[in-house]
Amino acid sequence: MARNQVVLEAAFKVFSKFGYKKASMSDIAQSAGISRPTLYALYPDKESVFSALIEQTIEQNISETSRRIEGVKDLDSKLRHVLDVWIIEPYSAAMETENGSEMVLGASLYAPVAMNRLWKEFEREVASVLELGMRKNGVSAKELAIIFVSSCRDFKASAKSVRELKKSTEILLSLANSL
């Protein structure tokens, strides 16, 4: 396994255990079984490590979304897959960790550039699915995708549970299916 991947897996464990604020580069290096100088040669600071984790997640989500929606014909099923991959499953996985809520709520503060890219890629995925499945009625796929992203950001920030998040996303699905 590549050294970067070992570091990212170790960093995920450290951030999950201690949270972003309490995690240190020393903790990450120790968990990865490398020296601090080696870690700093790979990543100049904790934000860079966290950003790399988000970038890795983006690439995995893009690949997983393509895999899941391949061959799926109806809009509702495609959108459910996109929401599962980008919103529901990551939220659920984070909430199962000791410091998941801090990670979900603070990610945009800890790695703003990477999180902006994540939301833009999510918007792109939603728009591409909507473009193929929406009836033409004056609302563009891009406009509806922006509403999806804004809503999902708020839903993730305010949800008290996975169940509540799923309920909120069902409203979005109903909206998309009515257009």
Smallest Cα–Cα separation from 62: which of 48, 82, 77, 78?
82
pLDDT at 80: 96
pLDDT at 105: 87
List per-residue pLDDT tens for the chain, 179 residues long: 788 999 999 999 999 999 999 999 999 999 999 999 999 999 999 999 999 999 999 999 999 999 999 999 999 999 999 999 999 999 999 989 888 888 888 999 999 999 999 999 999 999 999 987 666 667 788 998 999 999 999 999 999 999 999 999 999 899 887 77
For 155, residues 6+ apart whose C-beta sits below 8 A from its C-beta are 87, 165, 168, 169
pLDDT at 45: 97
Smallest Cα–Cα separation from 125: which of 163, 77, 69?
69
Q: Which fold has domain 46-178?
A: Tetracycline Repressor; domain 2 (1.10.357)
Provide the 8-state DSSP code for 111.
Answer: S
pLDDT at 40: 97
pLDDT at 107: 93
pLDDT at 134: 67
Domain boundaries defined on the chain = 46-178
What does pTM read for this prediction?
Answer: 0.91
